[in-house]
Amino acid sequence: MKKRLRITIALFVACALTAGFAGAGDVTDKPLRLAHGGTAEAPAVFDGKGMVIDLGVDVTGHAWKKEGDVWTSSAPLSGPRPVADGQNTALFLDETPVTLARDRAAERAAPDPKAFRFLPPSALKPGQMGCTPEGLLYFRWPPTKKPGETRIILPPKAGISCVTIACSHIIVRNITAVHASNDGFNIHGAWVGIRLENVRAFSNCDEGISAHETVQMDVDGAEIAWNGSSDGGVADVNHSITTYKNCRVHDNAGAAFKFAGQAHSVTDSLIYNQAKDFDVAKGTTFKQERIERREK
């Protein structure tokens, strides 16, 4: 099953590539952690040469219990621990994230104040999902996807990012990050001099790219799409400083970009199929220039 998934996702990524980007290379199901940087004068370089990091597991062949357009797993399936309404997904239908639907009233009535409860199957909207206390996943098919023609993809256990950067002065290029239970590209700390070039972040449970704390990062050439966070395809927060240019951002569950750090900019980029382009926190320095928008 894993071999089949690797072949299928490689084809999916190859079809999604945009003109000017490098082609898909090797596919791996192992997360990448980069913890050895260089200097400001001689940054380290990690060139993935088109590698695809895909952490998803194909569960299309699972013995799903089917009641109309609502499907329920016949056995517990592991998935990420949700942190807020819509913040994470726990399934993908091909590239499309399925949104977790929390039941706040049931949570308030539960004996355990930290327990998560979800809307029952009958209350789900198309494209939403839930999970029973026993770990059974259930979801309602959206009209844009058809059973028998769509792969059902389960992300790994909670908190796993495809690429974690834990160093300063590094250039990371030519990598596609897919189906993480957390972020496609995750950066926490006080790192500076980080540069992403020609990267893609598709169908991750949280953000495609996310910088935190006092990270300083520049992104040149990225496609960020179908990520499941209610914040954005990109979410750079705390006191981070980031710039984005030559990017294509589309079809993310939240905004295209959420900025709540110190200073951010987006230039020469294309945004489409987004309910909101920019979500900028009060007090955040933000600049946008030469942004193209379209329906599709």
198-234, pLDDT tens digit by residue?
999 999 999 999 999 999 999 999 999 999 999 999 9
Q: Which domains does the chain have, with CATH numbers?
A: 2-55+156-294 (2.160.20.10), 57-151 (no CATH)
Collapse the DSSP code of 11 into the 3-class scheme (helix H, G, I; strand E, B; otherwise coil) and give the result. Answer: helix
- Alpha helix positions (H), the chain: 2-16, 104-109
Cα–Cα distance, 57 to 180 (Å, whole number):
11
CB 226 within 8 A of CB 89: no
Distance CA 168, CA 51 (A): 22
The dihedral over CA atoms of 224, 91, 237, 17, expressed in degrees to the nearest 10, equals -10
**pLDDT tier, 21 (very low <50, low <70, confident <90, very high otherwise):** very low
Q: Note the pTM of the prediction, 2 decimals.
A: 0.89
Residue among 95, 109, 113 at smallest CA distance from 150: 95
Specify the pLDDT at position 188.
Answer: 98
Cβ atoms within 10 Å of 20's Cβ, excluding its own: 9
Token digits of residue 183: 């972020």
pLDDT digits (tens, 9 = 90+) for 131-174: 888 889 999 999 999 999 999 999 988 899 999 999 999 999 99
Rounded CA gap, 79 and 89, in Å?
Answer: 9
Give buried/exposed letters for 143-166 (b at 16+ CB in 10 A, else e): eebeeeebbbbbbbebebbbbbbe
Per-residue pLDDT tens digits for 182-201 = 999 999 999 999 999 999 99
